[in-house]
Every structure is written in structure tokens, then in C-alpha cells.
Amino acid sequence: MAHTETEQLNRMLQAAALSRAICTVAELGVADHIQPGAPQPVASLAAATGTHERSLHRLLRFMAGHGLFREATPGEFDHTPLSHVLRGDVEGSYRAAAQLFHRFFPGWEGLDHAVKTGEPGFTKVFGQPVFDYVTAHPEIGPILDAGMTSIHGYETAAMLDAYAFAGVRVLADIGGGNGSLLASVLQRYPEMRGILFDLGHVVGRARDTLKSLGVADRCQVIEGSFFDGIPAGADAYLFRHIIHDWTDEQSIQILSHCRKAMPDGGRLLLVECVVPVGNETSIAKDFDMTMMTFPGGMERTAAEFDALLAGAGFALTSVTPTATMVSVVEGRPRL
């Protein structure tokens, strides 16, 4: 009997419990009730979070075995670096991301449907595509914004350090969400102006962000759908974690609108994971499962980006890695 393989597969199957545990403690706010270096008894944590004491102990004991929390003495838990960022009040907090997935977690039940049909599993489970669901449930919007910042916000500084935006006079952030990315670029490049383009129910939140970060006077906010068209007026068009949400056909439609809006000397910048070729583990491959199951999109290899850009009238000119999981995929118009 293959004991080693059986045990390894057993642990892999139980990995779903770890993901769900992270979502659960984030939603309950367990981490917020522990100050680093001051272990808290499970009884106090259970009282503060309205949970069953013995069950909470078992959950935290399980998580501690994976580096999330530490049982300092029997029945008392302290933070580790991983659990600390599940607090809502720390820099780089991951709590909002886990709270978002707490709400979307049932979508994973559609993974088999996605594999069998090529259709998003989320749609099968929730009855409508993920972005339609968010629009129909406006209370999800702020959680989505905060969750995306938790997941991807750390990429911004790395992107700015790796890729030179020098020479860009007007940068359009397409699908710019809450405006935090564009604001960071404008702060780094004080002579640059910006355009933020997103759906009507999103741009209200973006206006508040741009104003609070002191760049509203250099940024035009435009409402619209990139499936209908993209505004002209910029010499560089930035899409961060937008194209990975969509199929090749949908992505070519979006990027073709961008090509029509862009001057011949313009730049297309896709900030995305680039899937490595080979059998090694990769966070890009992990995120690809999320893309396949939830919006129905995909993470792509460099060769797949090359083909995608060619289909929309661009030539792939460079792929610039960053210190994070993303790269800056640059395209220039084919003339």
C-alpha cells in the first residue's frame, strides 16, 4: 500500500478546511482580540466572538499547526506573523480578503462544473455571473474593494519600482476600481495626469479615494463599460487584474476598444500574473483556478499574452517581473 502517497493526499483533501478556517476567523474577528505577545485564553476569545469554546479551541489548534496563531500555553493563543495580518487594524491587513471569500466560498462548489463545461462555476452556484451578483448586492461593493486591496495592494509599490512610467503624460486606469492604484502612480509622478474609467456604481467610491489621497485635481473620472468602448485622451492604458477575469474572446474585445482609443505611439500595460511553463508550483497557477471557477477568466503564459495582444492589434514588447507575483506586460500598437 502507498502509505506516503495516501497520507499526502489525505492532507491535500483536508486543505479545504484551512481555507475555510481563515475565512471563518476573519469574519468573526478572532485575530482582533489578541494583542501580539499577550496570549488570550480560548474562553475569552469565545466570549468575545460568540463562538463555542471547545470548537474554537479545536479550530485554532488546527490553524496553529499551519503557522496561523500559536498555542503559547494549553488553551491560550498568541499571534504569528500570518495570523497578525488577519487583524483589521494593521498595515497590509488581509482580513477583508478573507471576509470577501467568506461570502463567495460556496462558488468553489462549481469547480467541477467549470471543468466539465468551460463555464464559470460561480454562475452555476449563485445563479448569475460574479460581477452581476456584486451589482445586485451593493453591500458587497465595499467588501470587494477592500478585499482586492488586501490581495493586490502590496503589488503597487513593486510595480512602480520595477516599471518606469517616465514619459507618460496621461495614464488611463481601465477598470480602476476604488482608485487606489491610479492615485499611487500619480503620487509617484507629480507631472502625470490620470483618467479613471469604471462602471457607474464603482466610480463614486473612486472619487472619494482620489480626493482623500490628494490627486482628484489631476484625475478625470469617467463612467462606462469597457465592453462598449474605452475613452480616448491617454497615451498609456493600464489594466491591473482586469484581463484575467475574461475569456480570450472577451479580452480581445476589450483590448480592441483600447487600440481604437490609443494613439499609435501609446502603451498598453497589463499588470497580471504570468503563468510559468513547467511543473513547479506557482501562485499564478493557484489564482488560475480562482479565475476559472469564479469569473470564468484565466491567468496566462507569456505566449498566451503574445497571442492575445496580437488578436487585438498589439505587439508584445516586454514582460517586466516585479518583486511580487505580478509582471507588467507591455504592448505597443501594430502599425
DSSP annotation of 276: P
Q: Tell me, yes or no, if 33 is annotated catalytic.
A: no
Q: Per residue in 222-242, pLDDT tens?
A: 999 999 999 999 999 999 999
Q: Per residue in 135-148, pLDDT tens?
A: 899 899 889 888 99
Q: Which residues of 139-170 are buried (b: 16+ CB within 10 A; e: fewer)?
A: ebbebbbbbbbbbbbebbebbbebbebeebeb
Using an 8 Å Cβ cutoff, are 269 and 329 in contact? Answer: yes
Cell matching residue 223: 463612467
When the pLDDT of each residue in the chain is averaged and rounded to a whole number, the result is 95
Rg (CA), the chain: 22
Using an 8 Å Cβ cutoff, are 45 and 34 in contact? Answer: yes
Res 202: pLDDT: 84
What is the spatial distance between Cα 49 and Cα 323, in angstroms, rounded to a whole number? 37
Detail the DSSP E strand segments found in the chain: 40-41, 70-73, 76-78, 170-174, 193-198, 219-223, 236-240, 267-273, 314-321, 326-333
Res 1: pLDDT: 53
Q: Per residue in 58-115, pLDDT tens?
A: 999 999 999 999 999 999 999 999 999 999 999 999 999 999 999 999 999 999 999 9
**CATH code for 3-92?**
1.10.10.10
Query: What order do you get walking across the sheet with 76-78 strand by strand?
Result: 40-41, 76-78, 70-73
Active-site residue, from 57, 102, 244, 257: 244
Residue 190, class by beta-carbon neighbours within 10 Å (0-12 exposed, 13-18 middle, 19+ buried)? Answer: exposed
pLDDT level of residue 205 (50, 70, 90 thresholds): confident
Domain with CATH 3.40.50.150 in the chain: 153-333
The sign one gets for the Cα dihedral 30, 36, 41, 47 is: negative
Res 322: pLDDT: 97
What CA dihedral angle connects 79, 83, 84 and 89, to 10 degrees?
A: -130
**CATH code for 153-333?**
3.40.50.150
Domain with CATH 1.10.10.10 in the chain: 3-92
Rounded mean pLDDT of 295-323?
98
